[in-house]
Chains A and B, each alone.
Chain A
Amino acid sequence: MTNEHRQRASAEDRETQDSSAIVFEGVTKRYGDGTVAVESLDLTLPAGELTVLVGPSGCGKTTTLRMINRLETLSAGRLLIGERDVMSVDATRLRRQIGYVMQHSGLFPHKTIADNIAVVPRLLGWDKKRLRERVAELVEMVGLDEALAARYPHQLSGGQQQRVGLARALAADPPILLMDEPFAAVDPIVRARLQTEFLDLQRRVQKTIVMVTHDIDEAMKLGDRVAIFAQGGRLARFDTPARILSTPASDFVVDFIGADRELRRLALERLDSLELDAGLTAPRDEIVARARSYLQQAGSSGIVVLDEHRAPLGWLDWDTLKQADDRARIDSLALKPWRHRLYLHDNLRSALNALISAPGEVMPVLNAQGRYVGVIDQLQLTGRLT
């Protein structure tokens, strides 16, 4: 490579580093048989944000994603990354500057985890030392045990493989990350954990991320913005999750986000944004007579019994209290425990779920240390709905 070549190459690299908004201008994708996957799409995905493309199958969301790194070729229109038209750049060079995570990790079975992660840096000609350091850094960043680096993909669980897939995509620190249903193939529990960790990671790395999913809950949870596609590759809505849920704008969007959109909105709000009721509580060593008088004064149907660390033991209702011996300790009575634990960082939708199965009409809320901070009741939640 001549000096001049090298300078030009690094100038091009910088270009993607600096301006990485992705702009679709009248982009159309038509296949040979005449089917239109994407129809005259105008869309600007802002730099440093996570945009989720969501919609029913066959709506062109995956095709849209794959046009960004030229896995699909556009039939008409322009697709810009920053100022640069993707069709004017060499495809392999473009792809090395764009991370790609797929549904099934697509790891190379004959290479170790470390070598899988190092693929793109190696294509870019990094030296050994830099490669090694980067791999170690990434293994930690995506939450993998470093002992796994020397293993092979088939020795890892699905969740671990997805983490490696993410590390591989991030390896050369690309400004843009494309993710094609990255969490769809793992079981729901692992998925929820990966999603949360991924959000944390995005807060730290601040890349321009485009993610495809068919799961509207995932879209609303992860997206800074959500683009909802309708059949035939039309963009039905592009906005923040909160605005989409409060003003859906069209029947299609209402249908797609579902009849329970009010409930979905609850999922966007956390308990610590509410003013919690202090509730009626008593320590476990309280005697029945005193507890009875608290209850009568407050006009409540029951009381939250707390242990010595102010963690809720259970719900004591009037019927139990009424029949008990005056001088008995209340923790000797039949307390009704809660099936769920609700913390301040939980969202209102989980609160609603917990309330439905709670004994009594209230649900205690805990701080991060598990201590009681107050209660939430159905009335407070329904007040939050329109």
Chain B
Amino acid sequence: MNSDFMSLMAGVIHFFSQPMNWQGPGSIPAHIIEHVTYVLISTLIGAAIALPVGIGLGHSGRGGLMAINISNIGRAIPSFGVIILVFLLVGYGVIPVIVALVALAIPPMVTNSYVGMREVDPTVRQAAVALGMTGWQRLWQVELPIALPLIMAGVRTSAVQVMSTATLAAYVGLGGLGRYLIDGLAVRDLAQVLVGAILVAVLAVVTELLFAGLQKLITARGLQ
């Protein structure tokens, strides 16, 4: 067991130290770029759908419970199932993966942006009306800046989840860091599996840190 573990670690180090694993197609950087591309595309599409819905419902204060319930149901659907389903419908390609990841990205962003908007102090909202702000001015100048920290927290949760789940792309023959998991398991090369796991974990942590920094940067000083 102990010697197994030692040889496994040696294998991992060996993998990382091979120059050929750092260059060209199928190398570590190439897989990272593929992986991050899936994550960026799905998070952005997810945000484009989720944020307007959550912010709009939060601003008007209507239908919020319904939106949160629907997005919670969305959370319960397994991403792998979605991939297989869409794969069966549209066939091979990047679309099944993106659809599954978008579905995964939406719920936290809807919930957080809705809650963020509702959390704005009613006195502050009322003041904005009484001072003569139009609906758009209230949204852009008052409610959004105040809700931004919570909205960003939602985007951050989504991005980190999508980052870990994007490994599923490899199951339908695409690239990304999931390749190491699938291929490693297929040939029982545990060192390679571990390499994939480590890289995904590091990327998730880096994403978390990046967003934490971004969130701090764009939060108005008066709210910190």
Closest Cβ neighbor of B144 among chain A residues: A110
Number of A-B contacts (CB under 8 A): 67
The answer to whether B220 touches A120, judged by C-beta atoms less than 8 angstroms apart, is no
Contact B124 A108 (CB under 8 A): yes
> Which residues 149-167 in B have Cβ within 8 Å of A in the complex?
none
> Which positions 101-117 of chain A face chain B at CB distance < 8 Å?
102, 104-112
Closest to A165 in B: B127
A-binding segment of B37-45, B110-118, B132-140, B196-204 = B132-140
Interface centre among B121, B130, B145, B221 (most CB of A within 10 A): B130
Are B130 and A69 in contact (CB-based, < 8 A)? yes
Chain A's closest residue to B120 (CB) is A109
Task: Give chain B's interface residue range (CB within 8 Å of chain A).
Answer: 20 to 34
Q: Which of A262-280 contact B (CB under 8 A)?
A: none
Contact A168:B146 (CB < 8 A) given known A109-B124, A110-B223? no
User: Nearest chain A CB to B126's CB is how many angstroms away?
Assistant: 6
- Tell me if B205 counts as interface (CB < 8 A to partner A): no
Query: Are A71 and B130 interface neighbours, CB within 8 A?
Result: yes
CA distance A168 to B146 in the complex (A): 19
A105 / chain B contacts, CB cutoff of 8 Å: 123
Which residues in A have their C-beta under 8 angstroms from that of B129? 71, 95
Distance in angstroms from B222 CB to nearest chain A CB is 3
Contacts A104-B123, A109-B146, A110-B146; is A96 near B132 (CB within 8 Å)? Answer: yes
Residues of chain B lying within 8 A (CB to CB) of residue A97: 132
Residue B73 interfacial (CB < 8 Å): no
A residues with a Cβ closer than 8 A to B are: 69, 71, 92-97, 100, 102, 104-112, 119-120, 123, 152-154, 168
- List 6 A-B pairs, Cβ < 8 Å: A106-B121, A106-B127, A107-B124, A109-B124, A111-B222, A119-B131
In the complex, the 4 A-B pairs of residues with the closest C-beta atoms, listed nearest first: A106-B127, A152-B222, A96-B132, A110-B220
Point out residues on B near A: beta carbons under 8 Å: 121, 123-124, 126-134, 137, 142, 145-146, 220-223
With A108-B128, A108-B142, A154-B222 known, 15 other A-B pairs at CB within 8 A are A95-B130, A96-B132, A97-B132, A100-B131, A106-B124, A106-B126, A108-B146, A108-B222, A109-B222, A110-B146, A110-B223, A111-B220, A123-B132, A123-B137, A153-B222
